[in-house]
């Protein structure tokens, strides 16, 4: 008996057994570690997936960039700052 036959394929919890003989040490360990499946996992997973699809908006296509051929305003470049002068200190060397 493999784990696959006793585990729910959706939630990976232990499915209820069909009889006393189905309760083996392996099933007992899986029940302790994974817990019991309450049932209805496939339906809940399907509802969750449908809800997420309804809530998630479709991505709007981004507008195509418009080339600027010298007409109109040019983008403003930030001013270049001069390197800061240390107060008489030598620059630090970076050792790698």
15, 35 Cβ separation under 8 angstroms: no
Average confidence (pLDDT) over 17-42: 88
Q: What is the pLDDT of residue 1?
A: 53
Q: Rounded to two decimals, what is the model's pTM?
A: 0.44
Q: What is the pLDDT of residue 61?
A: 63
Q: Which pair of structure tokens corresponds to residue 57?
A: 């908006």
**Domain boundaries of the chain, sorted by first residue:** 3-54
Give the separation between CA 55 and CA 16, rounded to whole angstroms.
34
Q: What is the pLDDT of residue 42?
A: 76
Give the separation between CA 37 and CA 31, rounded to whole angstroms.
9
Under the banding of pLDDT at 50, 70 and 90, the label for residue 32 is: very high
Average confidence (pLDDT) over 78-93: 67
């Amino acid at each position: 008996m493999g784990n696959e036959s006793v585990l729910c394929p959706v939630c990976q919890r232990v499915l209820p057994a069909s009889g006393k003989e189905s309760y083996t040490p392996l099933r007992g360990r899986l029940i302790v570690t994974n817990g019991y499946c309450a049932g209805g996992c496939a339906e809940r997973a399907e509802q969750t997936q449908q809800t997420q699809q309804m809530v998630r908006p479709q991505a709007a296509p981004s507008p195509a960039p418009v080339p600027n051929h010298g007409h109109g305003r040019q983008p403003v470049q930030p001013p270049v700052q001069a390197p800061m002068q240390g107060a008489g200190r030598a620059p630090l060397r970076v050792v790698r």
